[in-house]
């Protein structure tokens, strides 16, 4: 074989080797590599957002209160849409053609090549049939979601609800995109960052018939969603449910707190609503119905109603008098005498009264004289008033108590400037503002604030910021919740007040509010109302030593404190500490459960 023949075979061998390499590479690109399989088979590479399940919410005892159920969104990518049977499509989704056309137009305005949500929150029972038929409609696909589900129709104002993000939410946090959901109130809002989790991405191959052909690169580029963190709340679910039952057909609010921690055991605003009404596709409709309801069920009376606290405020007023030295435990004031009683007693009792008597009997003249003596200890009315105000503020009145209540109001603790504006500087006196002595006038406090006052008295002078969260999965609760806040009152001055509160419970009211086997301390209140029946108020804590619960109850149009607020509070205390209502107190429970103060024809 000559040299030319050898060269010929060498060239042929080189070409064969190169061809083989190209064939192997081409096979890999067109058959083995799914990156090129997309275009080779007219498949579409679709990135599907994987929405994480929100964290679960439990009560303090581990009872599940909020969990998730599956739901699905239908998305549209306008440029991929081809002609389709709109009648069949609308029937499939139970929507009108007008709704369909409006949704498609909105999607086009957003983007022709990016997917956007057309139909939200499709329940599982509807989704199964939709998924079977969806291949007929090119340009439409689904993504999974979760919806909130509630173990009980309770604690709506505490738990809150989830709603679709608005432009402000999107501009404030790049995590959110149009169609996402965010906590809008309650725990859902306050702990949104912990509950929401982290979104993921799943890449899939979809054929021309909109059918999923498999994952892209076997899921190598998928980003899994991270489930939200679970939360253990401070609520006692059983107590919360019981409190809502007691408040059925009534207006008002109740807050119960564990004094040693500031943990809120129950918080009710009545009338309330079923939190399940604000879930799913019916959320918008139900929200508007609730918004128009004249009973205002969306209004959180427990944290936003600025109620005059009435005689329950006498506890603070007396404490201020003792602390400033304006009165002592031996001080006595008479209920009689025109010049000394601009605020008269509403019933006969021992007179002249001392501190314990005054608390037990809710003596108006005693409190008026204490208030006047406190202010007159100082050089001017304004100075005395400002000192008095500082002591009151140290109980949390007129303040936002905690970050756990984002929509809470501070109430009304009037300032010197208010009275200067009304009467003129130096032209008002204790007599001018005497209504403050008995918790009326310009004073307004929320049930949350007054329950906190009860906790501070139970602790003999301090409290922890009331809060709703006990534990967060793999996270910590705010350190401020464990920071003790001291009032400006010395512990020794609480003892006569507490003695008077114990006598309130053990006195004439014992038959209706005395709890078997418990030393409970309480104070009734009747708040004047010029637009109807007076309001019923009661504050309490129990046991007297090492208290486990402090409570404040406000029943609108309840006539007087002992008629509704006091029995309801005592029942809650009994239920929480004894786990049951004693047989001899069942008649009290029945009367409270059956009472309908929303019916103008029912005697109050």
- pLDDT tens-digit series, residues 161-198: 999 999 999 999 999 988 899 999 999 999 999 999 99
**How is residue 232 written in tokens?**
């253990």
Question: What is the rounded distance in angstroms from the CA atom of residue 186 to the CA atom of residue 156?
Answer: 8
| The pLDDT of residue 405 is above 50 | yes
Residue 349: predicted pLDDT? 79
Helices marked H in 203-344 — which ranges? 237-246, 283-292, 301-304, 314-324
Q: What is the pLDDT of residue 566?
A: 96
Determine the straight-line distance between the first and last CA of the chain, rounded to whole angstroms: 124
Q: How far apart are CA 377 and CA 383, in angstroms?
A: 9
Between 539 and 343, the higher pLDDT residue: 539
Name the phi and psi angles at 600, rounded to 5. -65, -15
- 541 SS3 class: strand
How many angstroms separate the Cα of 367 from the Cα of each of 126, 153, 219, 389, 457?
A: 66, 43, 74, 16, 18
**The two structure tokens encoding residue 289:** 């119905």
599 — pLDDT class (breaks 50, 70, 90): confident
pLDDT digits (tens, 9 = 90+) for 146-160: 899 999 999 999 999
Q: Which residues, 6 or more positions from 469, have their beta carbon under 8 angstroms from its beta carbon?
A: 187, 191, 231, 232, 233, 234, 404, 477, 481
Has residue 41 got a pLDDT over 80? no
Give the three-state DSSP class for 140. strand
pLDDT of residue 121: 86
Higher pLDDT, 455 or 27: 455
β-pairing verdict for 462-463 and 181-183: unpaired
Range name among 123-137, 299-313, 383-397 with the lowest pLDDT average: 123-137
- pLDDT band for 340, please (50, 70, 90 cuts): low
Q: What is the mean pLDDT of residues 27-40?
A: 51
Residues of the chain with CATH 3.40.710.10: 237-594
Looking at per-residue pLDDT, the higher value among 122 and 541 belongs to 541
Strand ranges, E, within 77-139: 116-122
46-222 carries CATH number 3.40.50.720? no
For residue 319, pLDDT beyond 60: yes
The residue-averaged pLDDT of 94-121 equals 89
Q: What was the pLDDT predicted at 50?
A: 87
How many distinct helices (H) and strands (E) make up the chain? Answer: 22, 18
Q: Where are the alpha helices (DSSP H) in 150-226?
A: 156-159, 167-172, 186-190, 192-195
- Give the mean model confidence (pLDDT) for residues 464-489: 96
Contact between 450 and 32 (Cβ < 8 Å) = no
What's residue 120's pLDDT? 87
> How many CA atoms lie within 13 Å of 525's alpha carbon, on the beta-carbon side?
29
How far is residue 18's CA from residue 10's CA, in Å, rounded to a whole number? 12
pTM, entire model: 0.88
Mean pLDDT of the chain: 90
Tell me the C-alpha distance between 549 and 539, whole Å: 11
Q: How far is CA 48 from the centre of its chain?
A: 33
Whether 526 contacts 555, CB under 8 Å: no
What is the C-alpha separation between 195 and 475, in angstroms, rounded?
A: 11
Q: What pLDDT is attached to residue 1?
A: 52
**pLDDT in the model for residue 40:** 45
Helix spans in 134-226 (H): 156-159, 167-172, 186-190, 192-195
Question: Stretch 266-288: mean pLDDT, rounded?
Answer: 94
pLDDT of residue 192: 97
- Specify the higher pLDDT residue, 338 or 233: 233
pLDDT above 70 as % of the chain: 90
- All CATH 3.90.1310.10 domain ranges in the chain, comma separated: 46-222
Helix, coil or strand: residue 559: coil
- CATH number corresponding to 237-594: 3.40.710.10
Kindly state the tokens that stand for 214.
């498999």
Buried b (16+ CB within 10 A) or exposed e, 67-98: bbeebbbbbbbbebbeeeeeeebbebbebeee
Q: Give Cα separations from 354 to 333, 342, 435 (angstroms).
A: 7, 18, 20
Q: How far apart are CA 427 and CA 429, in angstroms?
A: 7
* φ, ψ for residue 547, nearest 5 deg: -60, 140
3-state helix, strand, coil in the chain (%, to 5): 40, 20, 40
C-alpha 32: how far from chain center: 55
Asked if residues 366 and 372 have their Cβ atoms less than 8 Å apart, the reply is no
| Residue 133: C-alpha distances to residues 75, 90, 126 (Å) | 15, 12, 11
Cα–Cα dist 410/402, whole Å: 11
Ordered alpha helix ranges (H), 537-580? 565-578
| Nearest 10 degrees: Cα torsion 316, 317, 319, 325 | 160
Token readout for 527 is 């708040």
Beta pairing, strands 162-164 & 140-150? unpaired
- When pLDDT is averaged across residues 335-351 and rounded to a whole number, the result is 74
Tokens of 217: 């690169």
The pLDDT tens digits for 351-381 are: 898 999 999 999 999 999 999 999 999 999 9
Partnered with residue 150 across adjacent β-strands are 66
């Amino acid at each position: 074989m000559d040299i030319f023949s050898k060269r010929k075979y060498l060239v042929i061998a080189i070409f064969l080797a190169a061809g083989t390499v190209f064939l192997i590479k081409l096979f890999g690109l067109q058959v083995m590599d799914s990156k090129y399989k997309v275009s080779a088979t007219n498949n579409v590479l679709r990135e599907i957002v994987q929405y994480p399940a929100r964290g679960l919410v439990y009560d303090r005892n581990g009872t599940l209160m909020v969990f998730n159920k599956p739901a699905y969104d239908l998305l549209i990518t306008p440029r991929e849409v081809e002609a389709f049977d709109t009648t069949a499509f609308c029937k499939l989704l139970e929507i009108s053609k007008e709704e369909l056309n409006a949704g498609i137009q909105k999607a086009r305005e957003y983007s022709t090549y990016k997917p956007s949500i057309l139909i939200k929150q499709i329940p599982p029972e509807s989704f199964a049939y939709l998924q079977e038929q969806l291949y007929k409609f090119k340009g439409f696909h689904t993504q999974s979601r979760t919806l909130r589900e509630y173990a009980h129709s309770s604690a709506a104002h505490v738990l809150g609800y989830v709603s679709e993000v608005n432009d402000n939410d999107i501009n404030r946090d790049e995590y959110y995109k149009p169609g996402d959901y965010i906590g809008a109130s309650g725990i859902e809002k306050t702990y949104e960052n912990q509950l929401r989790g982290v979104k993921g991405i799943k890449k899939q191959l979809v054929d021309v018939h909109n059918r999923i052909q498999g994952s892209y690169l076997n899921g190598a580029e998928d980003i899994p969603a991270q489930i939200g963190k679970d939360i253990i709340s401070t609520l006692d679910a059983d107590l919360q449910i019981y409190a809502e039952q007691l408040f059925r057909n009534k207006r008002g609010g109740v807050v119960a707190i564990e004094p040693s921690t500031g943990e809120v055991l129950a918080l009710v605003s009545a009338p309330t609503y079923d939190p399940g009404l604000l879930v799913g596709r019916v959320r918008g409709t139900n929200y508007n119905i609730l918004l128009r309801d004249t009973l205002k069920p969306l209004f959180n009376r427990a944290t936003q109603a600025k109620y005059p606290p009435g005689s329950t405020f006498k506890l603070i007023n007396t404490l201020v008098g003792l602390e400033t030295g304006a009165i002592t435990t031996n001080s006595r004031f008479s209920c009689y005498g025109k010049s000394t009683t601009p605020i008269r007693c509403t019933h006969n009792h021992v007179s002249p009264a001392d501190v314990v008597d005054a608390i037990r009997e809710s003596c108006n003249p005693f409190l008026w004289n204490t208030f006047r003596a406190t202010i007159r200890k100082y050089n001017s009315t304004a100075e005395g008033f400002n000192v008095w105000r500082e002591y009151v503020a140290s109980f949390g009145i007129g303040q936002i108590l905690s970050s756990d209540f984002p929509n809470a109001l501070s109430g009304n603790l009037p300032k010197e400037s208010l009275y200067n504006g009304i009467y003129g500087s130096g032209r008002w006196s204790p007599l001018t503002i005497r209504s403050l002595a008995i918790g009326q006038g310009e004073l307004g406090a929320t049930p949350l604030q007054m329950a906190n006052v009860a906790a501070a008295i139970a602790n003999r002078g301090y409290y922890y910021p009331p809060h709703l969260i006990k534990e967060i999965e793999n996270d910590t609760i705010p350190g401020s919740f464990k920071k003790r806040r001291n009032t400006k009152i010395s512990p020794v001055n609480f003892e006569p007040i507490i003695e008077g509160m114990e006598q309130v419970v053990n006195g004439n009211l014992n038959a209706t509010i005395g709890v078997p086997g418990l030393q409970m301390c309480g104070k009734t209140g009747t708040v004047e109302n010029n637009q109807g029946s007076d309001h019923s108020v009661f504050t309490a804590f129990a046991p007297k030593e090492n208290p486990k619960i402090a409570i404040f109850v406000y029943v609108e149009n309840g006539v007087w404190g002992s008629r509704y607020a006091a029995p309801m509070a005592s029942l809650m205390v009994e239920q929480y500490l004894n786990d049951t209502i004693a047989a001899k107190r069942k008649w009290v429970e029945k009367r409270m459960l059956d009472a309908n103060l929303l019916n103008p024809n029912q005697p109050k």
